[in-house]
Structure 1
Amino acid sequence: MLFIGQYDHTIDAKGRLAIPADVRSRWSPKAHGGAWYAVPWPDGAVRLYTETQFEARAAGALPQTLTPSDAQAKLQALLFGAAARMEMDSAGRIRIPDAVIEVVGLGSEVVIVGCGDRFEVRDRAQWKKDFKERLAGLPELLRATEAERGRGA
């Protein structure tokens, strides 16, 4: 499933966030899994992955050894320890754990941003404030990602 667009939403007092209706209408538990995974990110976002996307990426990130390097072990503990699995309720909402909301500093007014393979949940006011600046930086981001591809990154 391709995630695009921006959706203004709120996180209610119980930590519930509605998945956008057009995404729910395309949702297939068989294809996408029965849940979502939330991963807090250092830039103030909560990354949301479908269950199938998260598990596929997790399998690729896990070294095939019982003795990972110190860096691998720290990365695993940080990413997987901070991640949360959330099932959608009958109203199409997920409950983001308080710890995830608090660590990235989200308030109740958020924007859900489509990022291709995932959603990012961000502070709405900050996103709107920064959006024009981010858009102005698009040419540089494109050059940087092209350079990374050229290096095999």
Structure 2
Amino acid sequence: MPHPTLSHATKVSLCLSWAAIATPAAIAQSPTCYRVTSTGQTVDLTALCKNERTKLEPIVATNLSLDVPEEEFLSSKVKATLTNRSDRPVQVGVVMLQISRSSTPVTTVPLFVNQVLSPGQSISASGIIDKADLRGEDPKQLSVSLQSLK
């Protein structure tokens, strides 16, 4: 049985249907890592692109500080400002801050927040630590960083 000849309109319709089916695979690619020329040829630009994209975390911790008074009877504190960078509310339960010396962990301090942060909202959080947890390290040589959120 001979194949019927397709009209130009049918061919265009089929091509558009095929393009609609094939497009999602192309969208999944990074738009900066390839380019389609006017002749329809795909040019690979991967060498010009970063292989890994930085994933923005919804919650960021800034203004991290460690306050260790010289007097033994005063409490030592760790502080942070938490900000929701996402466009949706985020539940923050416990923030784990790591105290380190020269990239070597000394101790981890939990900050119990248990709060929903609205988009763009910032809050201050602090926790008390025992000086003994610092293992005799000079507080001026210590740094504070965000370890995790729960």
Specify if TM > 0.5.
no
Question: Which structure would you say has the larger Rg?
Answer: 2
- State the structure with bigger RCO (CA 8 A, min sep 6), 1 or 2: 1
Give the TM-score of the pair, scaled to structure 1: 0.30
Relative to its length, the structure with more strand (as a share) is 2
Q: Give the TM-score taking structure 2 as reference length.
A: 0.30
